[in-house]
Structure 1
């Protein structure tokens, strides 16, 4: 009886040690960000957004960590045409279009970005990374620069993260481009510079 209990105890200890040694490959997080267009005389665009972040580590070496990232996002934008000459006279009903597009508009974007991240640890708790992502989205508002409906969001970001116990805190600076790849009648798109703050936890 004692042998059996000792054997079970040793087995449980081994399982526990194995579980502790195995690093979790997944992490789940939440990000908030905001930004605005690059300075220009044609339009204004400001935005803030919320993202769910699902990380998966595909490979880890001595110097780098490689991750893929799934990012469902909702983006709340405000857009206004400044240069009404952007709507040319050959556009049907161009005067009405100019009057309509120069009004301040609320724009909602629903996005599912897929990203690839290369992380460089600089200590046990801190790391730098670069991130590129692309994904489909739906925009609910037509403007002089974008047709309503299907489009794509492309993001390039540089970030820094640090851990407190198992919780990772994150800040990243990014450039974002939105367009519809010519699938709509209007495809000038938006270019914004954003900053994001996030928190995530492995599981």
Structure 2
């Protein structure tokens, strides 16, 4: 074997050995974390969810959306029948909105004809939200549970429409949910209703009302 080839083989073997050491270290770390979790259950869970929805049927506007959330659960109390949790959820929401009833923009509105033309076009609406909620959970056996969730949080929307001004607003959510667990994982399905408005802080504040459903997975730390 030539010296160059021998040197190359040695370098390759060293890389493989380092990779195996890293994999072994990661496996040991996961094993330790699993043993710790078995010794004492953490009150924290982290998760991700995806959802979608649309407006309640009406003749004024359309609004379709889908969204992604990161989730942090914290169990604050457990009784014989219920668990009480705090849930923080940063969210990005992608919506499509269109004004159907152009009479919604009144003639007394400044430049009303121009705004009617603008608002009746289909618009992409993006919202950046921080949901903060309180959750009451009813365990069903050792695996499943039902819960009720109420949350409210600030948001920033990047698009002005006839129903809401661009900028700061709030999202209010009321949801029912069902979960099923496996090991430290929990799988979640959550129908909800959502209202978005700016509490009168902007010139337009009719807001949006949507029905949604989301699917999530979380892991107990």
> Which structure's CA Rg is the greater one?
2
**Stretches of structure 1 lacking an aligned partner (at least 5 in a row):** 1-15
Q: For residue 140 of structure 2, what is the aligned residue in structure 1?
A: 122
Moved more, 143-152 or 22-31: 22-31
Deviation at 1:20, TM superposition (A): 3.3
SS state at 2:38 partner: helix
Deviation at 1:19, TM superposition (A): 6.3
Deviation at 1:23, TM superposition (A): 1.9
Of the three residues 34, 41, 61, the one matched with 1:43 is 61
- Going by fraction, where is helix more abundant, 1 or 2? 2
Deviation string for 1:120-154 (max 9, x for gaps)? 00110000000000000000000000000000000
In the alignment, is residue 113 of structure 1 matched against residue 94 of structure 2?
no
SS state at 2:114 partner: helix
In the alignment, is residue 193 of structure 1 matched against residue 193 of structure 2?
no
Deviation at 1:17, TM superposition (A): 9.0
Partner Cα separation in structure 2 for residue 19 and residue 46 of structure 1: 41
Partner Cα separation in structure 1 for residue 98 and residue 170 of structure 2: 20
Change beyond 3 A, Cα 1:90–1:18: closer
Q: For residue 194 of structure 2, what is the aligned residue in structure 1?
A: 176
SS state at 2:54 partner: strand
Of the three residues 49, 66, 70, the one matched with 1:31 is 49
Q: For residue 103 of structure 1, what is the aligned residue in structure 2?
A: 121
In the alignment, is residue 94 of structure 1 matched against residue 112 of structure 2?
yes
Deviation at 1:21, TM superposition (A): 4.5
Deviation at 1:92, TM superposition (A): 0.4
Partner Cα separation in structure 2 for residue 101 and residue 27 of structure 1: 42
Deviation at 1:105, TM superposition (A): 0.1
Q: For residue 98 of structure 2, what is the aligned residue in structure 1?
A: 80
Partner Cα separation in structure 1 for residue 36 and residue 95 of structure 2: 48
TM-score scaled by length of structure 2: 0.83
SS state at 1:73 partner: strand
Taking only aligned residues, the RMSD between alpha carbons, in angstroms, comes to 1.3
Of the three residues 125, 136, 139, the one matched with 2:154 is 136
SS state at 2:81 partner: coil
Change beyond 3 A, Cα 1:74–1:19: closer
SS state at 1:40 partner: coil
Q: For residue 89 of structure 2, what is the aligned residue in structure 1?
A: 71
Deviation at 1:74, TM superposition (A): 0.1
Of the three residues 183, 187, 190, the one matched with 1:165 is 183
Deviation string for 1:11-66 (max 9, x for gaps)? xxxxx999634221000000000000000000000000000010000001111000
